[in-house]
Structure 1
């Protein structure tokens, strides 16, 4: 089926603008008005992806309500390194502005911080039966499993440790 020249030119212009603008449009057919449970359940049905339904700003936590499920048009495949499942996006934080109708690159999202920069935290050093605890101030934010630097409030020494799921920092080996 031949595409009219004006429609073809419009699609080419839209693609060029999208590439120059730093984003890639999701060529899709809208499946609006679906609940959050349907979003998670319908993704196994084929080339279905989630895209923002509104602008999501840097530092904003991504919620399912801010996403829209779309089915890619026939012959279109999602690019690699694009977050598409609700589990990949729910509760994550945008590292940059996410625009409506665009794919969400995996590099544009991060885990939510468990410890913020400048927060007072408990630091633990555990070796065998010995446990030493101290209070420290974080020098950088971090999520669970991240290696962060902290300053001991008593000695002023800077230490590196791993952020634990409860928001404490573990120094050394356990």
Structure 2
């Protein structure tokens, strides 16, 4: 079995190895392009977006909300938007609370939605607005703002209670 090296030689070898480790990353970092350099930044790969996509994201971020220029008034010839349509996507009734999914949005009993208050009952949701008739939604139904049923998953009269 070889005898261990004297303590000063082991210490010198350890310090030399430590020095190489400290000097290694510093010299290697100078070979890697830094992102602050514009020419070197083009060498770095794009992970998520191309420069054109990034420019459109920045332009959309700087645009005013609603996508319209706030300085120009709306013209009278603009087409009228169709009346809103409400669709009950799902309903969950619990012991302490109830949840409904209307137009893909999760709503609790009593929350406001499209200017109306959500009232969740057994198998239906009523959208109430004072002075107007309730909009009644059953799961899968599409109902217009006037209360007319536009699309119903189950034909009327096809279900009967025993």
* Range of TM-score over shorter length: under 0.3
Structure whose CA Rg is larger: 2
- Scaled by the length of structure 1, the TM-score of the pair is 0.22
| More strand by percentage | 1
Q: Considering Cα pairs closer than 8 Å and 6+ residues apart, tell me whether 1 or 2 has the greater RCO.
A: 1
